[in-house]
Amino acid sequence: MPVPSLTDYSSASLDCFFREILEQFEREAALARSAEAVEDLRIRWVGRKQGLLNRVGEILKLAPAEARKEAGKRFNALKAAIEPRCDPQRLPPPQSADGGLRLPAAGAPSLAAETIDVTLPGTRRRLGAEHPLIKTMHEMVSVFAAMGYSVAEGPEVESDYYNFEALNFPPNHPARDTQDTLVLADQERKPLRERLLMRTHTSPVQIRTMERRPPPLRIVVPGKVHRNDAADATHSPIFHQIEGLCVDVNITFSDLKGTLDYAMKAFFGSAVKTRFFPSFFPFTEPSADVQISCIFCGGKGCRKCKSSGWIELLGCGMVDPAVFLSVARKQPAYDPEKISGFAFGMGVERIAMMKYGIGEIGQFYSGDLRFLEQFA
Ligand code: PHE
C-alpha cells in the first residue's frame, strides 16, 4: 500500500489520513495468522528502513509548526496501536487437537483486534408499556383524584386485627368464611389479632389511614389481595382491588351514590347507568352492591349480562359506627356521633375484563406478549 497522501495538515485531513492507515493495517493484520506472516507484517510496517510507519513519520515531518504537536500525538497513538501487534511471539496459542478452545492471554493480538465500531447504530430496545391491570388502576385512580381523593397504600401481609377485627368481623364470625386466606406459619402463641395473614381485601388500609390522619379524609387504595378461591375463568387466588373511603361531617348515602355514579360514567362512558342493591359487609351499614347497565348491549340484555341488562361491579356502603369506634381509640376525632362516611371496593380484574372484553382472567398473569401488546 502506498501511504496515502496528505494535502494539508488540518484536523480533518489528519483524521482521514490516520484512519486510512489504521484500516489498511487492520486488514493486513487480520490475515496474518502464522508466526511467519506476523514477521512479514512487522517488516512491512515497523521495519527499520522500509517500514511504512517510517514513511508516515517522514510525511509528518513536513507539517507546519502549528500542526506538529497534533500530528505527533496521532502518530504516537498509531504506533502504539500497531507495534504490539507485529510481535510474532504474541500470536494466540493454536487450537488444541481435541478442538477445545483456550482463552487467549490478556492483551494477545486476537483480543486487541476486537475493536468496537462506535459509529454503528445502537441496539434498539422496544419500549415497554403499562400492564392492562396497572393501566386500569391508574385510570380509575385518576377519576377519583379529579374528585380530590389521594392515594393510600398498606401492607399485603396484614394482621388479623386490621384485616378482620377492626373492620367488625369478630373472631368466628361467619363473614370470615367468604374471605379465607393464607396465614403465616408458627404464630399459634400470639393472640389472634396479632397473627399475620395475606390480606383478603384493601379495606384494612381504611383503618390504617384513619389511625394516622384525622377527618376529613378522601382516599383511594389500589392494591393486591389474596383469597382461597379456586382459579377459573373469572377467579384468581391473587387479584387486585381499588378501595375508596370518604369521611367528613354530613356525608350521606346520596354522596355515595353521586360519587359512584359519576365515577362509573367517567370510566365507562356517560351513557352508563348505575343501580344499588341491598347487600352485606360487616364494616358498612347499610351496604350495597352496585350494578351498571351492561356496556355490551346498553341494557337490552345479552350473553355477557346473562340477559339481565345489568352487570354487578362493586360493593359499598356507609362506614359502620363500629369501625369508627375501633379507630377512635387512636384518633378520637373519629366519633361516630359527629362524623360519617362511605366506603367502596372494586375488583380491578373484573373492571378491566369488562372494559377490554377479556374472557379469561388468567391472561393477565400469563406474561404472553401477544396478549399484552394489544394494550400498548
Ligand atoms: N372489602 C370488600 C370486599 O372485598 C368490598 C367493600 C369495600 C365493600 C368497601 C364495602 C366497602 O368484598
Rounded Cα distance between 101 and 95, Å, is 6
Q: What is the DSSP letter of 165?
A: G
**Atom 7 (ligand 1) nearest CA:** 345
Q: What is the DSSP string of 78-100?
A: HHHHHGGGG-GGGPPPPPPTT--
Cα of 348 vs centre of ligand 1, distance in Å, is 13
Q: Which residues of 189-220 are buried (b: 16+ CB within 10 A; e: fewer)?
A: eeeeeebbbbbbbbbbbbbbbbbeeebebbbb
Phi/psi of residue 280, each to 5°? -140, 130
Phi/psi of residue 92, each to 5°? -65, 150
Residue among 158, 169, 203 whose CB has most ligand 1 atoms within 8 A, to mutate: 203
Q: pLDDT averaged over the chain?
A: 90
Residue among 201, 225, 259 whose CB has most ligand 1 atoms within 8 A, to mutate: 201
Binding-site residues, ligand 1, Cβ < 6 A: 201, 203, 243, 281, 284, 315-317, 343-345
Rounded Cα distance between 81 and 19, Å, is 12
Q: What is the pLDDT of residue 95?
A: 47
Q: Which residue has the cell 468496537?
A: 116
Cα of 316 vs centre of ligand 1, distance in Å, is 6
Cα of 201 vs centre of ligand 1, distance in Å, is 7
Rounded Cα distance between 170 and 283, Å, is 11
Preceding peptide of 2 cis, ω within 30°: no
Cβ atoms of 241 and 133 within 8 Å: the answer is no
Atom number in ligand 1 closest to CA 201 = 4
Cβ atoms of 284 and 343 within 8 Å: the answer is yes
Q: 107: phi > 0 → left, psi -120 to 50 → alpha, else beta; which? A: left
In which residue ranges of the chain is pLDDT below 70? 1-2, 91-112
Rounded Cα distance between 181 and 197, Å, is 7
Q: What is the pLDDT of residue 103?
A: 58
Q: Look up the pTM and report it.
A: 0.69
Residues whose CB is less than 8 angstroms from the CB of residue 273 and which lie 6 or more positions away in sequence, other chains included? 292, 293, 299
**Atom 6 (ligand 1) nearest CA:** 345
**Atom 2 (ligand 1) nearest CA:** 345
For residue range 51-83, what is the model confidence (pLDDT) as tens digits?
888 888 888 888 888 888 888 888 888 888 888
Q: What is the pLDDT of residue 96?
A: 47
Q: Which residue has the cell 389511614?
A: 209
Cα of 202 vs centre of ligand 1, distance in Å, is 8
